[in-house]
Amino acid sequence: MFSVEDTEKIILDAIQPLTATETVTLDAVAGRILATPVSSELDYPHEDNSAMDGYAARSRDLSQATSDHPVTLNIIEEIPAGVAPSHRLDKGQAARIFTGGMLPLGADTIIMQEETEREGDQVKVFSAPESGQFVRKQGSFYQAKQCLLPVSIPIKAPEIAILAAMQCREVSVYCRPRITMFSSGNELVMPNETLKRGQLVDSNQYALKELVKQQGGVAIPLGIIRDDKEALKSAIAQAISSSDLVISTGGVSVGDYDYIESILTELGGTIKINSVAIKPGKPLTFATFPNCYYFGLPGNPVSALVTFWRFVAPAIKKLSGQTSNIEPTFVTAKTQQALKANGKRETYLWGKVSAIGGEYQFHLAGGSHSSGNLINLAQTNALAVIPVGETQISAQKTVTVMLIN
């Protein structure tokens, strides 16, 4: 049995990022991973412009301005945002300007409207501004041709705004990994089927489809496969030949119908992991094929989710070409309830973490923490981690907490 730490390392060491790339437009770039660094031909700001509504002026004309002895300037034009100025400021002149308006030649400072008094075509200024005050200088935020966005980062709303602002209308991204998933089990039915005695609805596949999409993978759900070795074998053979990664749930423990590991071996896979000191999730199975990776997650609904969050999500990130922020995020929190574990496996207990008064607090979900109980997972956002060797963390003590969404 491998420790959680060793398991994470074995999995991440085995995963080689996909190298295929494609070009996508701005509208389709959300959630994708950049395959080449992006730069722009534009400076940002594109020109010197004003950060305030007020007046553009020459600071040297105003060096003697005080509240008792204001300096009066002649207004020669008005410059709203989007309109290029048509005059150069000479001695004693100002231009009415609005936020985002381009600085006229000759101007080197902006005086806020609130600090002036307007009289017809003139404006009184009551203090001496510094040169450069409220001026957003051309290229001061970004200089053309420098690296704008580095390779291997996920594109989210801020990056989309940056690409749009800098007219990078098409970018090269890594192709999304194709991730096939299925549930194994004779007891499983679809949510719309009438339940016979002893049957259970396949909930795992619904959760996994969503989680795979959240990680940027293309989810290819195969549905439910019976615990029939030949049926399973042909489904798995087909899945590994047509996807980058396969995720199944169920059939990885020691029961008579738990066929996954033997099938993976028969199909030529290398079993890297088949047992982990984690609760829930002990029989997690991970295998590699020449062009595909395989995660056999335990069938219990919480075990499937916990092992996905802990091991599969980082693997998908690495496979997708991401190079940083791959591992889950852990924070230290004060637990509001006592947490119990058996001390033998690293134990993950689900609940809710919130930031209160400058510290994280962890609230354990009420009800059973059985790996068969998915009901009290609702509205949770964190897993408290109790290390091997510890059987209890008292209320108000600190605990490491893994964020799950």
Ligand X SMILES: Nc1nc2c(c(=O)[nH]1)N[C@H]1C(S)=C(S)[C@@H](COP(=O)(O)OP(=O)(O)OC[C@H]3O[C@@H](n4cnc5c(N)ncnc54)[C@H](O)[C@@H]3O)O[C@H]1N2
Minimum CB separation from ligand MOO for residue 265, in Å? 22
- R_g of the chain computed on alpha carbons: 30
**Residue 281 lies near ligand MOO (rule: CB under 6 A):** yes
Q: How far is the CB of 284 from ligand MOO (least distance, A)?
A: 8
Q: Which range touches ligand X (CB under 6 A), out of 81-89, 105-113, 279-287, 353-361? A: 279-287
Q: How far is the CB of 251 from ligand X (least distance, A)?
A: 5
3-state secondary structure labels for all residues of the chain: CECHHHHHHHHHHHCCCCCCEEEEEHHHCCCCEECCCEECCCCECCCCEECCCEEEECHHHHCCCCCCCCEEEEEEEEECCCCCCCCCCCCCEEEEECCCCECCCCCCEEEEHHHEEEECCEEEECCCCCCCCCEECCCCCECCCCEEECCCCECCHHHHHHHHHCCCCEEEEECCCEEEEEEECCCEECCCCCCCCCCEECCHHHHHHHHHHHCCCEEEEEEEECCCHHHHHHHHHHHHHHCCEEEEECCCCCCCCCCHHHHHHHCCCEEEECCECEECCCCCEEEEECCEEEEEECCCHHHHHHHHHHHHHHHHHHHCCCCCCCCCCEEEEEECCCEECCCCCEEEEEEEEEEECCEEEEEECCCCCCCCCCHHHCCCCEEEEECCCCCEECCCCEEEEEECC
373 binds ligand X (CB under 6 A): no
Given a contact cutoff of 8 angstroms between Cβ atoms, the answer to whether 75 and 94 are in contact is: yes
**Contact predicate 362/352, CB 8 Å:** yes
Give yes or no for residue 372 binding Mg ion (CB under 5 A).
Answer: no
Query: Using the rule CB under 6 A, is 279 a contact of ligand MOO?
Result: yes
Q: Which CB sits closer to ligand MOO, 58 or 345?
A: 345
Q: Quick one: what does residue 301 bind among ligand MOO, Mg ion, ligand X, none, with the CB cut-off 5 to 8 Å set by partner type?
A: ligand X
- Measured from the CB atom, is 173 or 341 closer to ligand MOO? 341
Residue 341 as a binder of ligand X (CB under 6 A): the answer is: no
Which C-beta is closer to ligand MOO: that of 80 or that of 367?
367
Does residue 360 contact residue 403 with C-beta atoms inside 8 Å? Answer: no
Closest distance of CB 243 from ligand MOO, Å: 25
Residue 367 touching ligand X (CB under 6 A): no
From the CB of 371, what's the least distance to ligand MOO, in Å?
3
The one among 280, 296, 321, 351 contacting ligand MOO by CB under 6 A: 280
Residue 258 interacting with ligand X (CB under 6 A): yes
C-beta of 282 vs 317, nearer to ligand MOO: 282
Q: Two tokens at 130?
A: 């510094």
Which residue lies nearer to ligand MOO by CB, 204 or 303? Answer: 303
- The least CB distance from residue 336 to Mg ion, in Å, is 35
Q: How many residues does the chain have?
A: 405
Nearer to ligand X, 331 or 374 (CB): 374
CB of 167 to ligand X, least distance (A): 47
**Positions in 224-263 near Mg ion (CB under 5 A):** 253, 255, 258
Residue 371 in contact with ligand X, rule: CB under 6 A: yes
Q: Which partner from the list Mg ion, ligand X, ligand MOO, none does 84 bind, CB cut-off 5 to 8 Å by kind?
A: none
Binding mask 283-322 for ligand MOO (x = CB under 6 A): ---------------x-x--x-------------------
Q: How far is the C-alpha of 14 from the C-alpha of 273, rounded, in Å?
A: 11
List of residues contacting ligand MOO (CB under 6 A): 279-282, 298, 300, 303, 371
Binding site for ligand X (CB under 6 A): 183, 185, 187-188, 200, 202-205, 249-255, 258, 280, 282-283, 298-301, 303, 371-372
Binding residues vs Mg ion (CB under 5 A) = 253, 255, 258
